[in-house]
């Protein structure tokens, strides 16, 4: 007899979800696979249920009241529980044992299931037998033997399910009670445990259909569907379907449910993203299982660095697809950063989140409007503008304090100031003052060396102003800051 596996492979014409319903799988191999597993039949002392063999002493099929003839002089202390199957069960006292031989498929996996319960009886001298021990289980030809690890409580049915592999074409399964215990065994079932339901989660999208295809590893089974079809595969709309696969004496019945699924409701957020200059904005998708962005990315989130439209094509757990909303990434306009340098001191005339950098690295604690340069390098100022964007200045190179002072032909004081400044002229020349937009604000010509120039720009807006000069020895510039 061949060993076979059974499971579903779902091929979606649209897409379908297939799930195993929890109805009991019916399967049997051979005419004597656990005969009379529920021990149904007439009650009787010194009786073994049909299909089972007494292997040690004489057990009995239960009576619910009165003396126990198989254990002379014994009576029930507590009436036994009803059978899990509603019928009778097999009683075993002390080392009594019953067994049954079963034809099986060598190498195939099997699953054994049964109920057992410890019952209370008393003998003629008043001793009570109610030791809560587990029964002995023997599986010859596939599984070994020994006492179960889970004892039962008194008058409480314990359900056991266990798997093992058949080592020959015949199994002998037997049960025995523990020492001085009165054991009930019931509802013994042995099933071929080689049916694994594997499937792709899917669902019929909108009003489509899907193909259901069972897979069995052995060749030559026949199929019978609940639709009346006898082909291996069927095309079906949403609904519940059952297929019976038969291979020799082995049979399996499986049930699948195909459900209708709508498209995924995928959403990209934020809805109105804006880019800061030289930055990126994070976009994330939600509402589905898998995503493909119009950029080609398949991640949950992306970082957009350019303006334009972004969206995803989403696929849900059932394979249904839909396109998300389109979000358009805009950009904030660049805002000005006003910086200046006087001697070895840097200035920024912007407020909010100020940070100074040296050679691209934030200077610890340098978060004030001015900073005195301590070492050579490239200095950059930054602040957070009204849009929440961080704005950076152009680099300011600093080599040494002495060389800067030697090159300067003018000296401005006080600096920063409120609008009234004095410029000390060190060499005769022409001087012009420009605002941060490059517009000429003041112009002075042929100022003598050693003179002091009074400048009033109190009517000008606050900011950084550049003083350009041309002298006989060359040209240059310095800056003043009006607050």
Output the pLDDT for position 60.
75
Q: Identify the sign of the CA torsion 403, 404, 408, 414.
A: negative
**Structural domain contains residue 1:** no
pLDDT value, residue 135: 81
Confidence of residue 64 (pLDDT cuts 50, 70, 90): low
The pLDDT-based confidence of 405 (bands split at 50, 70, 90) is: very low
* Percent of the chain residues topping a pLDDT of 70: 78
Q: Tell me, yes or no, whether 293 lies in a domain.
A: yes
Q: Per-residue pLDDT averaged across 139-168, rounded?
A: 75
Low-confidence winner among 149-163, 260-274, 375-389 (lowest mean pLDDT): 149-163
Per residue in 331-371, pLDDT (tens digit) is: 999 888 888 777 788 888 888 899 999 988 899 999 998 89
Task: Check residues 327 and 249 and name the one with the higher pLDDT.
Answer: 327
Q: Are 481 and 416 in contact (CB under 8 A)?
A: yes
Indicate if 100 and 205 belong to the same structural domain. Answer: no
Residue 38 lies in a domain: no
Please report, for the domain that includes residue 154, its CATH number.
Answer: 2.60.120.260
Residues 65 and 155 in one domain: yes
Q: What is the pLDDT of residue 362?
A: 93
Tell whether 45 is covered by a domain.
Answer: no
Residue 64 CB contacts under 8 Å (≥ 6 apart), including other chains: 43, 76, 79, 80
* Residue 216: pLDDT band with limits 50, 70, 90: low
Predicted confidence (pLDDT) at residue 23 exceeds the cutoff of 50: no
Q: Which domain holds residue 290?
A: 267-331
**Quick check: 309 pLDDT over 90?**
yes
pLDDT at site 269 = 94
pLDDT band at 144 (very low <50, low <70, confident <90, very high): low
Instruction: Please report which confidence band the pLDDT of residue 406 belongs to, taking 50, 70 and 90 as the band edges.
Output: very low
Query: Which among 157, 192, 227 is the end of a domain?
Result: 192
d(CA 35, CA 100): 8
Does 463 map to a domain? yes
**What is the DSSP track for 283-349?**
EEEESSSEEEETTS--SSEEEE-S-EEE-EEEE-TTS-EEE---EEEEEPPP----EEEETTEEEE-
Percent with pLDDT over 90 in the chain = 17
Domain-located, residue 129: yes
66, 181: one domain: yes
At residue 14, does pLDDT exceed 60? Answer: no
Residue 313 in this model has a pLDDT that exceeds 90: yes
Mean pLDDT of 466-480: 81
Return d(Cα 60, Cα 62) in angstroms, integer.
6
Residues 187, 62: one domain? yes
- Between strands 204-205 and 260-261, the pairing is parallel
Of 401, 418, 439, which closes a domain?
401
Tally of domains in the chain = 5
Assigned domain for 30 exists: no
Q: What is the pLDDT of residues 266-290, one digit of tens each?
A: 999 998 899 998 889 999 999 888 8
Q: Residue 290 domain-assigned?
A: yes
Residues near 82 by beta carbon (within 8 Å), at least 6 away in sequence:
none
Cα dihedral sign, 297-301-307-310: positive
Dist. CA 481–CA 381, nearest whole Å = 15
Give the CB-side neighbour count of residue 338, counting CA atoms within 13 A.
21
Mean pLDDT over residues 228-241, rounded?
85
Q: Which residue has the higher pLDDT, 234 or 153?
A: 234
Residues 147 and 136: beta-carbon distance below 8 Å: yes
Among residues 368, 384, 401, which one ends one of the domains? 401
Are residue 64 and residue 143 in the same domain, yes or no?
yes
Distance (Å, whole) CA 203 – CA 220:
29
Considering only 211-225, 282-296, 430-444, 468-482, which range has the smallest mean pLDDT?
A: 211-225
Asked whether the predicted pLDDT for residue 62 surpasses 80, the reply is no
| pLDDT mean over 224-241 | 86
Collapsing DSSP states into helix, strand and coil, what is residue 134?
Answer: coil
The average pLDDT across 42-66 equals: 73
pLDDT in tens, 158-193: 888 887 777 887 888 999 887 777 888 888 888 765
């Amino acid at each position: 007899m061949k060993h076979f596996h059974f499971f579903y492979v779902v091929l979606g014409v649209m897409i379908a979800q297939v799930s195993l319903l929890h109805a009991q799988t019916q399967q049997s191999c051979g005419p004597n696979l656990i005969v009379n597993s529920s021990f149904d039949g007439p009650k009787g002392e010194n009786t073994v249920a049909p299909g089972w063999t007494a292997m040690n002493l004489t057990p009995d099929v239960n009576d619910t009241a009165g003396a126990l003839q198989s254990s002379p002089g014994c009576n029930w202390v507590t009436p036994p529980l009803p059978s899990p199957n509603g019928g009778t069960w097999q009683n075993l006292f002390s080392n009594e044992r019953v067994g049954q031989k079963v034809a099986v498929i060598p190498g195939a996996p099997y699953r054994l299931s049964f109920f057992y319960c410890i019952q209370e009886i008393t003998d003629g001298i008043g001793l009570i037998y109610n030791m809560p021990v587990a029964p002995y289980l023997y599986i010859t030809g596939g599984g070994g033997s020994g006492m179960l690890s889970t004892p039962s409580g008194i008058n409480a049915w314990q359900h056991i399910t266990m798997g093992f592999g058949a080592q020959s074409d015949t199994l002998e399964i037997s049960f025995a009670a523990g020492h001085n215990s009165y054991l009930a065994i019931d509802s013994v079932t042995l099933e071929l445990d080689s049916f694994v339901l594997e499937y792709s989660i899917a669902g019929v999208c909108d009003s489509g259909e899907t193909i259901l295809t069972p897979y069995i590893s052995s060749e030559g089974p026949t199929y019978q569907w609940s639709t009346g079809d006898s082909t291996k595969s069927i095309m079906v709309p949403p609904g519940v379907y059952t297929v019976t696969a038969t291979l020799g004496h082995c049979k399996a019945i499986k049930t699948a449910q195909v459900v209708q699924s709508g498209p995924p409701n995928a959403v990209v957020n934020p809805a109105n993203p804006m880019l800061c200059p030289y930055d990126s904005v994070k976009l994330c998708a939600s509402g589905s299982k898998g995503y493909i962005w119009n950029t080609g990315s398949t991640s949950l989130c992306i970082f957009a660095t350019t303006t334009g439209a972004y969206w995803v094509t989403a696929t849900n757990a059932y394979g249904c697809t839909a396109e998300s909303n389109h979000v358009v990434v805009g950009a904030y306009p660049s805002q000005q950063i006003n910086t200046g340098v006087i001697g070895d001191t840097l200035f920024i005339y912007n407020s909010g989140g100020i940070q100074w950098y040296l050679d691209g690295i934030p200077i610890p604690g340098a978060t004030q409007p001015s900073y005195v340069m301590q070492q050579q390098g490239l200095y950059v100022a930054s602040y957070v503008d009204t849009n929440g964007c961080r704005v950076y200045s152009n680099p300011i190179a600093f080599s040494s304090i002495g060389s800067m002072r030697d090159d300067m032909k003018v000296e401005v004081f006080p600096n920063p100031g409120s609008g009234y400044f004095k410029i000390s002229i060190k060499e005769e020349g022409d001087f012009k003052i420009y605002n941060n937009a490059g517009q000429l604000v003041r112009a002075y010509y042929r100022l003598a060396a050693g003179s002091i120039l009074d400048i009033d720009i109190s009517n000008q807006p606050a900011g950084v102003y550049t003083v350009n000069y041309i002298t006989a020895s060359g040209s240059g510039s310095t800056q003043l800051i009006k607050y």
